[in-house]
Amino acid sequence: MTETVLRPFVKEDADWLVAQHRFLYARDEGFDDSFGDLVSDIVSEFLTDHDPKRERGWIAETEGAPLGSIFCVRLTDTTAKLRLFLVLPEARGTGLGKRLLARCIEFARAAGYRDIELWTHESHRAACALYARSGWTLTDSRRTRSFGQDVVEQSWRIDL
């Protein structure tokens, strides 16, 4: 069995990461181009202005083929933000999401953060279930219109 590794995100991953988010969220959620544009902005900002001691991104890959991502970025001096958490459909249900989430939490703790926050949508049921099983607390939920769709946005938080 081939091992899936979690390696640091590098600038050469940017196009793949944006394209996967754009494609999968359009296909699965009906999101318009504004979602892919947001992901592109997040990736660009990370590449041009991140603190490698307190912010990091990872790509999960098997034999050079990327299967997922997760990022830990600074929200405040004491709070990190989880971003760009993605597991491709063919890798879902394998425990990869749990590994990526654990890596992000481990890094945030080592970087000196006291907690982590994230923003997602209620429709991401598997991810939300993983957050709940991993000790995260749902702190806010509200109906809104984003990315051309009526959605329920959620905020989650975990103390480190």
pLDDT tens digits for 143-154?
999 998 998 999
pTM, two decimal places:
0.94
**Does 16 map to a domain?**
yes
pLDDT given for residue 2 in this prediction: 78
Q: Is residue 126 part of a domain?
A: no
pLDDT, mean over the chain: 95
Per-residue pLDDT, 1: 58
- Asked if residue 136 is part of any domain, the answer here is no
> What tokens were used for 113?
């953060």
Query: For the chain, percent helix, then strand, then coil, each to nearest 5?
Result: 40, 35, 25
CATH of the domain at 94: 3.40.630.30
Would the pLDDT of 55 be above 70?
Answer: yes
User: Is 137 domain-assigned?
Assistant: no
Q: What is the pLDDT of residues 101-136, one digit of tens each?
A: 999 999 999 999 999 999 999 988 899 999 999 999
CA pair distance 9, 46, nearest whole angstrom: 10
Structural domain boundaries enclosing 44: 4-115
Domain count of the fold of the chain: 1
